Each structure stands twice: as structure tokens, then as C-alpha cells.
Structure 1
């Protein structure tokens, strides 16, 4: 089959998912094209995949007069690809693709994957709902990365909506020696004891990840448990920089929180200021921002507890990786996270810093409970579909759509 993927700006899960699909479907003998921004190609390397043709379409994020030029360019690209299936990922890519397909006399089958929910309020929310409705009703098939997205598409009038997961990349096992070395390096770099309980969050410092809730939870930890030792330096509290542990009470395990991921600088400044204000008023666990990292597997192996505080996630790849790695998990019960984690972790209500603090405190003081949840997570992770399985499922769906069109 001749399949074209359309993707907008991405540095995370959506781009990872589309790259895996392009790679695996191309390896299976299908003709694959990818259309998207140059920066997305630079980040994921679509144009470097064997047998994959990449074409630049600078989709951007806002709706405006420039969209007419995008539609004209995409129309020419789709004609050159002679696609049988056009599979757009996300609202922006879906909107431009649907408008483009309306201009074609003979159009391919249109598949839309939803990876996020619309979250606008007021006038913006009304506009987003109109776009959602148009896309749901205009696509031949809507795929949701979580069941709530499928249900939303059905509510808006989709003729066919199904759940297809975005699978996590294969997780390379990390040896105990490598994990210990990573722990030692982190302790040395950020000034905490190697015996500390490491709480790890992985994800871009952006509004969706709700790190302010994490910080509020840290502020409550002193009230919920006596097992943590939230010592910090006065200088760090005054300047708003990452805090470093200065001492550790005998028999009282320290707790340190690490956040790995690129940052929206405005959001990062706000979270740092929030942390500085709380830590100036009372002793709370140290918090360090690691920035974008290429050693996430090693970080996860070195950590004791994995946390995800997002206001919403469809099927977070980092959460899947934590399951596969066998981590004790504390996550907000939103979107697809509930069905993904099940009883293999501790789920807390969205934006509930009190429940979050209680869950982290419990695990920090109970290694046996951590080990139990880690074992459950590993078993759950072993059941998750891999990237090749998802690609094969999609190939079957594409064949079904093309056959129906021919019939």
C-alpha cells in the first residue's frame, strides 16, 4: 500500500509513534511518505529511514490566512505520493489534511489519530469543539490513543472510531551495575546521599505535566510522613535554584526529586519560583531539573519511585517505559493512565497534591511495597503491545479501508 503520514510539530510521543510506524510499515514492504515540519524531521530523522520519503510542510500551531498556502502545497504533495491512505496525527495535521482532501477529485482514505484532548476554554473552547466535530465526521476512521478519546469522537458523530495504542519503544535492560553508577553520578552532581529515595518524573516542563502540583505535594511531605528528610540549603531557597541536601539524619532516609525533560522556559521559571517560596517557609525535599536527557532508561533504573502528575495523558510513552522497567509508580488518574496502569501502581486524583504526597510518603517509607508495585508494573509492562504489533494492526486496518473503497 501507499501510505502517507501527516504530523505537526512534535518532540515527544506523537513523533516517536509515527517514526515507529513509518519504519516498521516500510520494512514490511509498504510505500511510506511522511509530511511535516522540517524541525520534526530534524528531531526524529524520518528522512533517514530506509524507503521513507519525507516532504516539508510547515504546519505551525495557529489557524490563519497562511493555511491556504499549506493546503495548496499539501495537495501537490499528496498527488505526487499517489497515496491510498493518508493518516494524520493530531488536530492541526488533521485539520489541514481534511481541508486539502476536500480539494481533490479522487481522494485517498483519510485516517485521523487523536493523541490529545482539546482543552480550550471560552471562545477558544467553542472553536476547538467545532474543529473536533468537523474532523470526527469528516474522517473515514478516527483512532484514539485512549478510550476516552474514542468515546469523544463517537459523541461528536464519527462514523467509525476505534482504540489503537501508541506503543512504547523497546526498553533496553539496564544492569544493576549501570543503575548504581547512574545513581552515584547523580548523587555526586546534585549533592545528595546515594542512599536517598530517588523520585523521578520524566516529561517536558510544560503546563500539561502539572509540575506545580508536584511542588505542592513536596510542601506537604513533611506533614504526611516522618520518613523523609527534606534538608535544603538556605542559599538555594533564597535564589530559587535547585536545592541540594546538606545533611541526613541518622536512620532517616532522604528523599530527592528529579525532573528530566526539556522545558518551556516560562513554565520552568514559574515552577522554580513556586519551589523557592515553599522551601523558604519550611524544609521540603530537594528538587532538581535535569533538562533533556538521552539516558532516561538509566535514570529510571536508578530511581526508586516514578511519578507522573499530568492533568491529562492519552497513553504516555514514559509511563509505559516505567511499567516495562518495573518501577513503583504514582500517577494521576486521568485520560488513559487509569486503564494503562491498573493496579500496577498508585493512582491519585488529578491535581490532588495531598493524595500525591501521601502516596509518595508511603512508598518512600516502605521498600517492600515499592518492590511489590515494581513487580506488578513489570508484569503489566510485559503485556503491553510493542511497536511492531501496533504497526501490523494498523496495516490490517488500512487494508480493510482500501478494500472497502475498491468494493
Structure 2
């Protein structure tokens, strides 16, 4: 089978998922084309894919988008086209390749402005109505996809790496968060929570446009938070932590939290998006944006060894149920086969 993957300016968990899918499909003997911005293709890092450079930015650009659609029409050689994100999905549909299109929705509608929300709604309508199947990473994306005209909405399977580094001895109690330093991740709320808890060190792994603002907030409040920047040793950092904390305003199926659960870390998170569905009993969930609740749970874990041990037992039970890379690839291959195999009547 030949699969064409289309993506825009992605990073973080979406990029990790596409990397995992492309590599898994190639390992399973399939041919994979990846159409995306040159910079994304450069960091994708999957051997054996056929690169198709296109420009899919964050905002519509009539001239650029028309050129992208023309290039995407060459994907008619594929058996199925799988777009990641609403912009990529809309452009893949407009390319009219004659091949079934699958669109995975990785994000909720933006709330930054009415203009952005309206653009997202328009793109979602195009992608949803033209896709054979829409996959969502979170249950709160199902209804918007159906309202936009999606005929078949299913949950995406997003897997994290299965290998975890055994716990590494360390001093003190450590909380960790992994994510880009952007508005959606609300690291400012993590900084606020950290200031309410004594004798806990908080580390944030990742980089992004909000770094300077966050560092200024940390300095001004003297919060015990370290911004570690982008790191290539996340499994080792998880192994030296005691709890994973997410203060994001929205997440789908965050890969890093699945990695944390595999590493044996209890999770404290706001109850947003698909996090509860993804990690279940491995997490304690707090209403957004109540930082006092985040601080209270971290304080309890740090100060009550028996409670921490109990929570770790729940985490290990959940870790055994998380989807594997094989589950992720098998689900997609089965979906693609159902769309490309003529039905028997």
C-alpha cells in the first residue's frame, strides 16, 4: 500500500506521532510519501520516506495555497491520503486526488480571536465534508467534526515510546512538565502552583516563544521552577522525577504524559481535552484553571509516602493498558485497507 501523509508546521507531540506512523508503516512494508514544509521534513528524521515539499503555514495564503494544492494533486499515485491538522486536511481535500482522505484533528478551535476561530471553522468544514474518515485525538472534538459535516468520526490511536528508563535515585521531590512554551500549555499557571508548594523542585522541558516571559515570572516570584529548554534526554529526566504535572489549557492524547505513566509517574493535570480518557486512573484531575488544586495534590504526594506508593500502584496498572506502537500502526493499516478495498455486494 502507498500512503501519502500531509502535514503543516507541526512540532511536539504531533510531529512525534507522524514520525512514529511513517516509520511504522515503512517497517510494515508500505510506501510512504510525506508532503510538508521543508523545515518539518528536515526534522522528521524517518529513513525511506519520499519527500514532497509544500508550504502549509498557520494562516491561509491564496497564492501559496494554490501552489500547494497543485503539488498535492501528484499524490494521486497513493492509495490513501492522510492529513494531520485542519489546514492540511482542507488542502488535501481541495487537491481532489481521487483517493480517500483521512484527516486527524490534533487541536481544538483557537480561542485567541474571532477571526482565527472563523478561519478554523471554515477549514474544518472543508476537511470534514471531504474526508472519508475524521480521526480525533480527544472526545471534545467529535461533536464539532460532526457538525462540520464529517460522515465518519473515530478516535485516533496515539502511542508513546514503550521503553522507559528505570527510576534514578535523586535528592528531594521533583515535579516535571514537558511541552512547548506557548500560550496553550499555560506554564504560567505551573509557575503559580509551584510558588504554593514548599520543598519541591519543578522542571519544565521544552522551548518556545513564551520563554522570556516565563523566566521573568519565575524571577519575579522566586518560584522553584527550572526552564531546561529543549532536551534529548526526556526519558532520563522522567526517571529522576516523582510526579508529572500538566497545566495545559487543552491537550489531546499527550505523548509525554503517556511516557511519564510508563516511567511510573503519577500525573496531576487540569481536566481538559483528552487527558482523562488517555491516562485514566494514573491521573488526579483538577478543574481548569485552579492552580490551588494542582498545588494541593503535588503537596500531598510529596508529603505522604504511603499515598505516593498507592498512586504509583495505580500508575503501573494503567501503564500496562496504554496503546503500543503496534496498536497505532495496526489501527491505521486496518483503516486504510477498509477505505481502499472494494466492498463485496
Fold similarity call, TM over 0.5: yes
What is the deviation of 1:352?
1.1
Alignment of 1:365 onto 2:318: no
| Alpha-carbon separation, structure 2, partners of 1:20 and 1:273 | 36
TM-score (norm 1): 0.80
| Alpha-carbon separation, structure 2, partners of 1:355 and 1:372 | 19
Partner of 1:54: 51
| Alpha-carbon separation, structure 1, partners of 2:250 and 2:39 | 25
Partner of 1:91: 86
Partner of 1:395: 333
Partner of 2:107: 116
Partner of 1:64: 61
Partner of 2:276: 338
* SS, match of residue 203 in structure 2: strand
* SS, match of residue 88 in structure 1: strand
Q: Measured at CA, do residues 143 and 337 of structure 1 come closer, stay the same or move farther in structure 2, by a change above 3 Å?
A: same
Partner of 2:137: 145
**Contact 1:326–1:376 under 8 Å retained in 2:** no
Q: Measured at CA, do residues 124 and 263 of structure 1 come closer, stay the same or move farther in structure 2, by a change above 3 Å?
A: closer
**Contact 2:157–2:327 under 8 Å retained in 1:** no
- In the TM superposition, 1:173-184 aligns within 5 A as 174-176=165-167, 179-180=168-169, 183=170
Q: Which runs of 4+ in 1 moved over 3 A?
A: 404-407
| Alpha-carbon separation, structure 1, partners of 2:143 and 2:343 | 25
Partner of 1:246: none
Q: CA RMSD for the aligned pairs?
A: 1.8
**Contact 1:119–1:125 under 8 Å retained in 2:** yes
The match for 2:160 among 168, 189, 198 is 168
Partner of 1:326: 264
Alignment of 1:154 onto 2:154: no
* SS, match of residue 282 in structure 2: coil
What is the deviation of 1:405?
7.3
| Alpha-carbon separation, structure 2, partners of 1:93 and 1:390 | 21
**Contact 1:87–1:112 under 8 Å retained in 2:** yes
Alignment of 1:263 onto 2:208: yes
**Contact 1:143–1:161 under 8 Å retained in 2:** yes
Q: Measured at CA, do residues 71 and 406 of structure 1 come closer, stay the same or move farther in structure 2, by a change above 3 Å?
A: farther
| Alpha-carbon separation, structure 2, partners of 1:406 and 1:26 | 29
Q: Measured at CA, do residues 406 and 136 of structure 1 come closer, stay the same or move farther in structure 2, by a change above 3 Å?
A: farther
What is the deviation of 1:135?
1.5
What is the deviation of 1:406?
9.2
Partner of 1:135: 127
Partner of 2:75: 78
- In the TM superposition, 1:26-45 aligns within 5 A as 26-45=26-45
What is the deviation of 1:86?
0.3
TM-score (norm 2): 0.94
* SS, match of residue 310 in structure 1: coil
Pair member with larger Rg: 1
| Alpha-carbon separation, structure 2, partners of 1:369 and 1:67 | 54
Partner of 2:188: 212
| Alpha-carbon separation, structure 2, partners of 1:272 and 1:330 | 22
**Contact 2:55–2:65 under 8 Å retained in 1:** no
Tell me how many residue pairs correspond in the alignment. 343
Partner of 2:12: 12
| Alpha-carbon separation, structure 2, partners of 1:389 and 1:256 | 36
Structure 1 residues without counterparts, runs of 5 or longer: 184-193, 222-227, 229-253
| Alpha-carbon separation, structure 1, partners of 2:325 and 2:50 | 20
| Alpha-carbon separation, structure 1, partners of 2:131 and 2:234 | 36
**Contact 2:86–2:120 under 8 Å retained in 1:** no
What is the deviation of 1:91?
1.4
| Alpha-carbon separation, structure 2, partners of 1:19 and 1:124 | 28
* SS, match of residue 111 in structure 1: strand
Q: Deviations over 1:229-264 (max 9, x none)?
A: xxxxxxxxxxxxxxxxxxxxxxxxx21111111222
* SS, match of residue 341 in structure 2: helix
What is the deviation of 1:216?
1.6
What is the deviation of 1:211?
0.7
